[in-house]
Amino acid sequence: MGFSLQRLGAIVKKEFIQLKRDRATLGMIVMLPIIQLLLFGYAINTDPKYLPTAVISQDNSFLSRSIITGLQNAEYFKVTQNISSDKEGDHLLKQGKVLFVVSIPDNFAKDVIRGEKPNILLQADATDPTAISGAIGALNGIVNKVIAENIKGDLSYLKNSQPAFSIITHKMYNPEGLTRYNIVPALIGLVLIFTGVMMTALAITRERERGTMENLLSMPVKPLEVMIGKIMPFIFIGLFQAAMVILIAHYLFDIPIFGSISLLCFCSLIFIICNLAIGFLISTVAKNQTQALQMSVFVIMPSIIMTGFMFPFEGMPMWAQTIGRIIPLTYFLRIARGILLKGASFVDILPHLWPLILIVLILTAITMKVYKNTLD
């Protein structure tokens, strides 16, 4: 029997009809490229502006005020807090509430007038070198503009002894600006997403396709018991993967570990449970493994783009940051980088931990409700 275009056409027509009936897959085929285009076109910005900055000003003079104004006018800095001590500044940097701390010393203007060339200290959170590179690069222009606007008249003689003052930059937590310091700790979260979301969704959907789920549903077990029993093996797998990534990151890529490993393991456990809840939720909605895989992509793709994993979180528009704040990886990235690179304590990571726990509770409640509906 030779090749037949008529038979080939019939098979192609049958596949299109089957695809048309699968509304979920058809919708994902249309929406996936649109969402990718919107995210890459509007959400990604490698030169973020208006970065949160804290100021320690011990000199309330015209010159110090002009410097602070110059920083804000440069559009890279946004003064969100005025603080009084270096300890408070270190605490804000560890918590990730600010990316810069500007310290202006006492008698700054007097020292400038006396020609003593004082220094201003700019501490930068360099755990994400890309996020702060533009701001640091703009410092020379800011200094020159402030000098041009304020060092004039009777103070013109100071221009002959440049610089009248300078800004010293300290890159905290990543002084060499190594990209791997930012990426490798974040890989812990990405690996756990692949295991927790995709593998869980596929494993449970596979059981439904094979008919073994019906046997499980006929047993006298409660939905919560089924959920815990199903996800428990993946919890151990996730913890093993997290430990493996941490060891490789430390010994192969020289990623420092300044904080508590036990605290990181606890936070990893919370994040694992969160991902497993998402995977379980997908499995209750998806009709087959193909749909489960496609839905998993809709979780993984925003997690890579909109959480600060690959691109600066502060560089995204507000609508994208709002979406990013409901994605669990956003908070786990800050926790992992804070513990490993900054030596953050439980108090330091608490502003990022409690939203993660809240997301876990909400997802678990939704998943149990949807799963009960599937039982009915």
Q: 213 lies in which domain range?
A: 178-375
Tell me the pLDDT band of 161, cut-offs 50, 70 and 90: low
195 and 337 housed in the same domain: yes
Per the domain annotation, does 347 fall within a domain? yes
Instruction: Indicate if 114 and 209 belong to the same structural domain.
Output: no
- Residue 116 sits in the same domain as residue 258: no
- 3-class secondary structure, 142: helix
Domain ends where: 155, 172, 189? Answer: 172
- At residue 270, the pLDDT reads 93
- Split at pLDDT 50, 70, 90, the class of 266 is very high
pLDDT on residue 117: 82
Mean pLDDT of 245-257: 90
Question: Is the bond preceding 129 in cis, omega lying within 30 degrees of 0?
Answer: no
What does the block give as tokens for 280? Answer: 């379980």
Question: Which residue carries 């202006």 as its tokens?
Answer: 104
In a domain, 46, yes or no: no
Q: What is the mean pLDDT of the chain?
A: 83
Q: How far apart are CA 324 and CA 248, in angstroms?
A: 28
Lowest mean pLDDT: which of 17-26, 53-62, 328-337? 17-26
Q: What is the mean pLDDT of residues 242-266?
A: 91
What is the rounded CA–CA span in Å between residue 334 and residue 351?
10
Of the three residues 139, 172, 205, the one that is the final residue of a domain is 172
21 falls within a domain: no
Strand 77-82 to 119-125 pairing:
unpaired
Distance CA 24, CA 286 (A): 9
Residues 219 and 355 in one domain: yes
Cβ-count burial 204-220 (b if 16+ within 10 Å, e if not):
bbebbeeeebeeeeeee
Q: Are residues 160 and 306 in the same domain?
A: no
The DSSP code sequence of 220-257 is S--HHHHHHHHHHHHHHHHHHHHHHHHHHHHHTS----
pLDDT of residue 156: 62
Tell me what pLDDT residue 370 has. Answer: 77
Could you tell me what percent of the chain has a pLDDT over 70?
A: 86
For 343-375, write each residue's pLDDT tens digit: 999 999 999 999 999 998 998 888 877 776 665
pLDDT bracket for residue 338 (50, 70, 90)? very high
124 lies in a domain? yes
Asked if 226 and 271 sit in the same domain, the reply is yes
Least confident of 212-221, 268-277, 288-297: 212-221
**DSSP codes of every residue in 1-70:** ----HHHHHHHHHHHHHHHHH-HHHHHHHHHHHHHHHHIIIII--SS--SEEEEEEE---SHHHHHHHHH
Hey, which of 36-50, 125-139, 253-267, 362-376 has the most confident mean pLDDT? 253-267
Does the residue 13 lie in any domain?
no
Q: Beta partners for 167?
A: 120
- Structural domain count of the chain: 2
Q: Give the pLDDT confidence score for residue 92 in this predicted structure.
A: 92
Q: Same domain, yes or no, for 346 and 258?
A: yes
Last residue of a domain, one of 153, 172, 191: 172
Give the chain's end-to-end CA distance (angstroms, integer).
50
- pLDDT tens per residue across span 186-231: 889 988 998 888 888 888 788 777 766 666 666 666 766 777 777 7
Indicate whether 33 belongs to any domain: no
As a whole number of angstroms, the distance between CA 277 and CA 261 comes to: 24
238, 157: one domain: no
Do both 241 and 166 map to the same domain?
no
Q: Which of 241, 240, 248 is nearest to 180 (CA)?
A: 248
- In a domain, residue 43? The reply is no
CATH code of the domain in which 152 resides: 3.40.1710.10
Q: Is residue 30 part of a domain?
A: no
- Same domain? 242 vs 367: yes
| DSSP character string of 27-43 | HHHHHHHHHHHHIIIII
Residue range 79-104: average pLDDT?
90
Residues 189 and 98 in one domain: no
Helix 62-73 to helix 139-150 angle (10° resolution) is 140
The residue type of 328 is P
Domain co-membership, 324 together with 295: yes
